Structures are given as structure tokens and as C-alpha cells.
Amino acid sequence: MTLPLQGVRIVAVEQYGAGPFGTQHLADLGAEVIKIENPNEGGEIGRHVGPYFFEEGDSHFYQSFNRNKKSVVLNLKNPEEKAQLIELLKSADALYDNLRGDLPEKLGLTYEALKAHNPALVCCHLSAYGREGARKAWPGYDYLMQAEAGYCSLTGEPDGPPARFGLSIVDMMTGTTAALALVSALVGARATGVGRDIDVSLYDVAMHNINYLGTWYLNEGVKTERTPRSAHPSLTPSQLYKTQDGWMFIMCNKEKFWAVLTELIGKPEWASNDLYGSFKARLANRDQLTEALDAVLMQQPTAYWLKHFGGLVPAAPVNDIGQALDNPFALEQGVIVEGEHPVRGKIKTLACPIRCPGEQLPKRPAPRLGAHQSILATVGPR
């Protein structure tokens, strides 16, 4: 058996979060991902994002996005070094960039500019607002997309200010979407021998993920707003509840789970009474139901309820980051991996979420700047 992308060579002109997040998936799955880094800037900016570092130019942030990759240093504005890039691309399956939307064309990193050197090359572009339109030259970042696409208006308590996600969720979603786009285009190129440009943007992905809330507005004019306790807009109980020692999230998103929950908390009459006996009734009486459930759940700590529910009711504790990573289930599932760092010895990062039964995914730490410069001396058409 081999890894799914073994033998695929991807040249990545990437930096920071969204772009490297996408190619890390591909590198974990066996692709050879060669990062092109600017020597005039100390390599990609992610190397210098603090406050925590393994060594100079090797931040924890950088290690989180660049496992299993290689690093080559080239100044693409230098004609001789640009020619070295083109030689490298002759042996590549794909070129991946996460540049500002107007830069791929300016730097000659499009399929049109490169097809004479490699007709089957896939050119995957990840930008803030796309390579066409009024904003193609605009810089853009995750939090800006969360604001403009409505995420902030949906996050937080109704009487508080708008809030962003605690994570750079648009970056992560866009990187993963770009990885899907690249692999999809690669399938086509291998079938036809002809490559293409393929585009993904932070803005498009952020808007696309409005999803069913967008469909509600576009067809019914409904503008979804923030709800107390991070509640689902139309289903209940599906929100945060108080326990004796903290909070837990319960999601009875099917009627059958509501019936099971009422039995397990000693309130079987709630399953069929007029106040709580249906989704419609519970939604109409959500505030009253919240108070009633709080009163029951606050009699025991969160751990008690999770054990008592035993997987029969969809529920989860509200953990902090440390509790999430120290959770025995996280260890059981293998979501944390160790790699051998040249300075720190063993370091830990979060594992690829894609599993290949029977295979161990590679777990090499992110490369030092220019660690694979020798690749340039050996490249040529396949």
C-alpha cells in the first residue's frame, strides 16, 4: 500500500495560514510539497509569527501549518531565480499559491504563462477576493471575512457586541477547499494531459458556508440573528446548559433524542406534554425550557451527566483548549502526533484528520528555511 498522493509534486508559493493549511493536508497524504520562500523576507511570514518559537525563524505557528514539506529559497522577481522555478515546474504536477489576487498574473504564475513549459500543470490560486473583479488587488484576512460574511453578527450573546470565532475558521475552510480544488483539477489533468487554472478565495468560501441561513434569507427573507446560549435557530434543546460545575452542550436535533433525554433526567412527562412535546412547542417555550433544564442539570457535575447519558443523548462538555487536548479520548483517537525537531527533540502537532487504514502518515516537522535547495540542481522534465 502507498499513501494516496505519493508521487505527486506540488510547488507552493505560500505563506501564513490558509495556503499552508491546505497543502499540509496534501503533504500529510504523501504529496511532495516544495515551499518557495523569499530570501529577502527571512522566508514566509509564518516563520516569524510569535510569541512562541522552537528556534529563530521557526515559530510554533509555522510548525502548525507546514508539516512534511520541503523548503526552497527563490526570489521570483529575479529573472535567473524565476527561471529556476520554471525548471522546477517542468517536473511538477501542480503550482499552488495564496498570493493577492492580482499577483499570479504579474508574476507569471498562471496556466497561460506556464503551459508551454508543462501542458499538464495545474495552477491552483487561493486569494482573498479572487483574481477577477473590483477587489482582486485587495489584501484580505480571515477576521475581515467573518465580519463581512455575517459570521460576527451570528456569534455571541444577543445583548453583547458582535464576535468572531475563536479560531481562524475561514482560513482553515479555504485551505481545505483549495486542497480539494487542486486534487480535483489534477484528476482532470491526468485524464486529459491538459492542466488549468483553478481558483478559491476566502470571500467565496466564507459566503458559501452561510449555507442554509443563506437559503432562508434568499427564499423567505429571514435574517437569522444571535440566540441566547449559542442555541440552534430553530431546534431545541440544542444549546448550552448549566451544570453543577460548568457548562455542557446538548443537541436533541431529532425527536427521538428528546424522549431519551427526558427519561434520563427523570422527567419523562416532558416528552409528550403541551409545553415541550414537539419541536414547535419547545421552540415556542424555549426560555422556559432552558430554565427547567438548568434546574435539573445543575444538580450534578458535567462528568456525571456525560457518563449518565452514555452516548444515548448527543452531548459534550465545554472544554478549554487544555482540557480538549488532554482528553483521554483525544489520545485514544490519535489526534496528536509527535515529530523529531532538530533543536527541541520531540514536538507535538495536531494530526491530519484524514485517515488511511493500514498506513502511517508521515510526521516530519516543518523544514528549516532553504533546507531542500539541492532540489534545484536535480530537476528536469519527467
Using one digit for the tens of pLDDT, what is the confidence trace for 212-222? Answer: 999 999 999 99
User: Distances from the Cα of 13 to the Cαs of 10, 71, 153, 286, 365, in angstroms?
Assistant: 10, 10, 34, 50, 19
Domain 9-208+333-377, classified CATH 3.40.50.10540, yes or no? yes
What pTM was computed for the model? 0.94
Rounded distance between C-alpha atoms, residue 65 and residue 20, angstroms: 5
Those residues with Cβ within 8 angstroms of residue 324's Cβ, 6 or more apart along the chain or in another chain: 330
Domain 238-318 annotated CATH 3.30.1540.10: yes
Break the chain down into helix, strand, coil percent, rounded to 5. Answer: 40, 15, 45
| pLDDT at residue number 379 | 77
Peptide bond before residue 237 is cis, with ω within 30 degrees of 0: yes
List pLDDT tens digits, range 226-270: 999 999 999 999 999 999 999 999 999 999 999 999 999 999 999
Question: Left (φ > 0), alpha (ψ -120 to 50) or beta: where does 266 sit?
Answer: left
Domains 9-208+333-377 and 238-318 share a fold: no
The Cα angle at residue 245 between residues 243 and 249, in degrees rounded to 5? 40
In the chain, what are the domain boundaries? 9-208+333-377, 238-318
- List per-residue pLDDT tens for the chain, 382 residues long: 689 999 999 999 999 999 999 999 999 999 999 999 999 989 999 999 999 999 999 999 999 999 999 999 999 999 999 999 999 999 999 999 999 999 999 999 999 999 999 999 999 999 999 999 999 999 999 999 999 999 999 999 999 999 999 999 999 999 999 999 999 999 999 999 999 999 999 999 999 999 999 999 999 999 999 999 999 999 999 999 999 999 999 999 999 999 999 999 999 999 999 999 999 999 999 999 999 999 999 999 999 999 999 999 999 999 999 999 999 999 999 999 999 999 999 999 999 999 999 999 999 999 999 999 999 998 765 5
| DSSP E strand boundaries for the chain | 9-13, 32-37, 53-55, 58-59, 70-73, 94-97, 122-127, 196-201, 238-242, 247-251, 315-317, 336-341, 345-350
How much is the pLDDT for 260?
Answer: 98
- E strands, 117-194, where? 122-127
